[in-house]
Amino acid sequence: MTIGSINLDHQVCVDILPRRGETVISRSLNQGVGGKGANQAVAAARAGARSALIGFIGDDAQSRGILERLQVLGVDVSGVIAVAGVPSGSALVVREVSGENFIVVNSGANAAGDLPLSELENAIVRAEVVVVQGELPPEVTGLVIDTAGRLGTRVVVNLAPVTSIGGAIRWADPLVVNEVEAAQLLDTVETDGVELAKQLRERVRSVVVTLGARGAVYTEGADVLHVPAPRVDDIVDTTGAGDATVGVLAAHLARGESLGRAVEHAVRAGSASVRFAGAAEGYPSFAEVVL
């Protein structure tokens, strides 16, 4: 089960990302389901998991359309809460033809909803794994993590973007961050993924540090192990690659696989995702990924 953000992405493709103050003409404009929570829930479903999503949307026709698209993608959205008088979250994704991008997010309903504790407990206790990110308010994210820890449900914490969740971070199993996010959490200039994972291991139950095209490292007891990523020459879009990694990781953990084996699947999925445009609605079947 994923608890997190739900957005409508507006994606434009340009030849070169604009510089400060520069105007460029786009090649195309597309809309699609986005938000880290939605992306990760879809990725888990595309990996063959039974995937449910809890989050917040607006109460207008466009928001209902987002839910319909998520259902088509195999996600149970019965736990999504409509917030009156607030639009759904949205994101502007500017993608360069090389695959690089930048993203600006308007939180909308993601920052305005409330999760009743009793309903949250009922949902968490039925889940094999709970996945959270950093796009909901930190007090909501912290409550989810603490509740999962108290109820004995494994929680995957993708702290992206980095936000302060206090002592709740101790329940992360694993904490999933990239090298930049790991350095921010540790307030350090260290850039080596292995060293960052070693330091973060003192705070949480297990750690995965993603390394982009170099794969990922993860902790196993006192060791930090590396999983290389397959080479991808036909990169189309890097949007949502990290979310594909997290969603597939959670799907394999929910099946009872080891963290190392789950990371292997996740790294391959993240690499496969960059060969397709868009995030959730562009993901291939991760149950069939061969690179």
Q: Which residues are annotated as a binding site for substrate?
A: 7-9, 35-39, 135, 243
The binding site for ATP comprises 178, 210-215, 242-243
Neighbours of 232 (CB within 10 A): 17
Please enumerate in sequence order all residues whose Cβ is within 8 A of that of 243, keeping only pairs 6 or more positions apart, or say none. Answer: 36, 39, 40, 43, 158, 279, 280
Instruction: Tell me if 133 sits within 8 A of 4, measured CB to CB.
Output: yes
The binding site for K(+) comprises 237, 239, 273, 276, 278
Instruction: Tell me if 215 sits within 8 A of 179, measured CB to CB.
Output: no
Rounded CA separation 291/279 (Å): 19
Tokens of 170: 């101790």
Neighbours of 95 (CB within 10 A): 25
Rounded CA separation 226/162 (Å): 23
Of these residues, 15, 59, 114, 243, which one is catalytic? 243
Please enumerate in sequence order all residues whose Cβ is within 8 A of that of 8, keeping only pairs 6 or more positions apart, or say none. Answer: 31, 32, 33, 34, 62, 66, 88, 89, 90, 91
Is 60 labeled as catalytic in the residue annotation?
no
The binding site comprises 7-9, 35-39, 135, 178, 210-215, 237, 239, 242-243, 273, 276, 278
Nearest CA among 109, 102, 99, 113 for reference residue 238: 99
Catalytically active residues are 243
